């Protein structure tokens, strides 16, 4: 069975084809067009710009995916050899979501294929099933992205409940907002991770908000304020090129300290969740799941009997493959019943 997956919830236009044979999911094609370069200039995502770029990107990305995955020419007027179309219907930016949802509806009517609406967050979870057939449930799931920091208990494919989450900023958002204070372009997460490689994570003592609290919740906005205060107190001018070129070590040490503070809290609460529920696996998902320190620290802090499962880095950030993979576990709906839902939760 083959599913075409479409993801347009934010700034990435992702289209992919995933095939399932017995229990194995394989990727036939996975194309992502990104408007990141626009957002890098503005320091964050401008929804109107993201939506316009989605409109421009969707048909070329669709056309390339169908060509590469199943040698189908979108101009041929034929019907491609796929079994269903899956699309992200939320959460996300309304303008961006609508591009994917309306495109998927049109294709479903045109090609007479079932349409499967997918929650973006489940997409991040099911990215783990691609090329990975044996994930033992129950599991604790940590979804860490630009918009979410959620701990879930997954007992089965229809039994997934949130057990913790952030009270303010998401982990990726913390990386991105603190990155702005360091004058790093958006998204700052991967850059802070890179700069950290040469830095000392103990150089600056930063707070680990809620690390000892008796629940599975997170809070990252206080960390951002602490970094801002530290920068102001020392008069560090990261917007000044001269200052940055003379202070590479400072930037590396600060990055490493920030990264360690965020990861310490994520790992502590993850280990707490895994200890409170008797689980076989710990599943990671979302853009921040690409972070090597997070993966390493989880490996070190989880009981040996729990297997750590994480997607390949390319499938951590938004893509159509994860939406197609999730769709194998969800049901089709009539196109007339599917609407974009920006505020969708689990
Ligand atoms: O899942 P994603 O592509 O988009 C959302 O659904 O939000 O996640 C993007 C987020 C950004 O905040 C980015 O800074 C962060 O993931 N990110 C990372 C890394 N790679 C991406 N954060 C830390 N370390 C990384 N290596
Ligand atoms: Zn995402």
pLDDT for 284-338, tens place per residue?
A: 999 999 999 999 999 999 999 999 999 999 999 999 999 999 999 999 999 999 9
Interval between CA 92 and ligand 1 midpoint (Å): 15
In the predicted model, what is the mean pLDDT of residues 274-281? 96
The whole-number pLDDT of residue 121 equals 97
HEC profile for 152-183?
A: EEEEECCEEEEEEEECCCCHHHHHHHHHHHCC
Q: Which runs of E-coded beta strand occur in the chain?
A: 2-7, 12-21, 24-34, 84-90, 115-119, 139-144, 149-156, 159-165, 281-285, 307-309
Q: For atom 20 of ligand 1, which residue has the closest CA?
A: 190
* SS3 assignment, position 7: strand
- Determine the distance separating the centroid of ligand 1 and the alpha carbon of 8, expressed in angstroms: 16
Q: What average pLDDT does range 171-189 have in this prediction?
A: 96
Tens digit of each residue's pLDDT (9 = 90 or more) over 212-247: 999 999 999 999 999 999 999 999 999 999 999 999
DSSP three-state, residue 74: coil
pLDDT score, position 133: 67
Are 186 and 179 contacting, i.e. CB atoms less than 8 angstroms apart?
yes
Enclosing H/E stretch for 51: helix 47-70
**How many residues in the chain?**
346
Q: Two tokens at 320?
A: 């159509």
Q: State yes or no: cis peptide before 166, omega within 30 of 0.
A: no
User: Cα separation of 28 and 38, whole Å?
Assistant: 29
Stated pTM of the model: 0.96
Quote the pLDDT of residue 43: 75
Where is average pLDDT lowest: 36-40, 50-54, 284-288?
Answer: 36-40
With pLDDT > 90 as the criterion, what percentage of the chain qualifies?
Answer: 95
Q: Which residues surround ligand 2, an ion (CB under 5 A)?
A: 145, 318
Q: Whose CA is nearest to atom 21 of ligand 1?
A: 287
CA of 249 to the centre of ligand 2 (A): 32
Question: Which atom number of ligand 1 is nearest to the Cα of residue 318?
Answer: 3
**Pocket-forming residues, ligand 1, beta carbon under 6 Å:** 10, 145-147, 172, 175-176, 187-190, 193, 286-288, 290-291, 317-318
């Amino acid at each position: 069975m083959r599913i075409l997956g479409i993801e347009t919830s934010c700034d990435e236009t992702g289209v992919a084809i995933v095939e399932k044979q017995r229990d194995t999911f394989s990727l036939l094609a996975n194309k992502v067009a990104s408007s990141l370069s626009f957002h890098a200039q503005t320091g964050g995502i401008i929804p109107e710009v993201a939506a316009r770029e989605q409109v421009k990107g969707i048909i070329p990305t669709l056309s390339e995916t169908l060509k590469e995955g199943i040698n189908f020419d979108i101009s041929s007027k034929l019907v491609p050899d796929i079994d269903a179309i899956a699309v992200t219907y939320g959460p996300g930016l309304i303008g961006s979501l609508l591009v994917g949802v309306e495109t998927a509806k049109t294709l479903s009517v045109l090609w007479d294929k079932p349409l499967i609406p997918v929650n973006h967050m489940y997409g991040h979870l099911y990215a783990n099933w691609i090329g990975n057939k044996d994930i033992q449930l129950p599991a604790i799931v940590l979804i860490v992205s630009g918009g979410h920091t959620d701990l879930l208990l997954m007992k089965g494919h229809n039994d997934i409940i949130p057990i913790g989450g952030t009270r303010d900023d998401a982990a990726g958002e913390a990386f991105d907002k603190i990155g702005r204070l360091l004058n790093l372009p958006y998204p700052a997460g991967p850059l802070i991770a890179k700069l950290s490689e040469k830095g000392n994570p103990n150089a600056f003592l930063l707070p680990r908000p809620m690390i000892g609290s008796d629940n599975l919740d997170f809070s990252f906005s206080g960390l951002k304020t602490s970094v801002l205060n530290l920068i102001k107190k020392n008069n560090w001018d990261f917007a000044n090129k001269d200052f940055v070129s003379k202070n590479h070590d400072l930037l590396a040490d600060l990055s490493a300290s920030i990264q360690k503070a965020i990861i310490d809290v994520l790992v502590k609460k993850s280990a707490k969740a895994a200890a409170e529920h008797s689980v076989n696996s710990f599943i990671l998902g979302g853009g921040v799941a690409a972070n090597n320190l997070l993966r390493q620290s989880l490996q070190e802090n989880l009981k040996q009997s729990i297997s750590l499962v994480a997607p390949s880095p390319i499938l951590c950030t938004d893509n159509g493959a994860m939406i197609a993979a999730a769709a194998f576990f969800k049901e089709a709906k009539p196109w007339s019943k599917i609407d974009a839902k920006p505020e969708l939760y689990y």
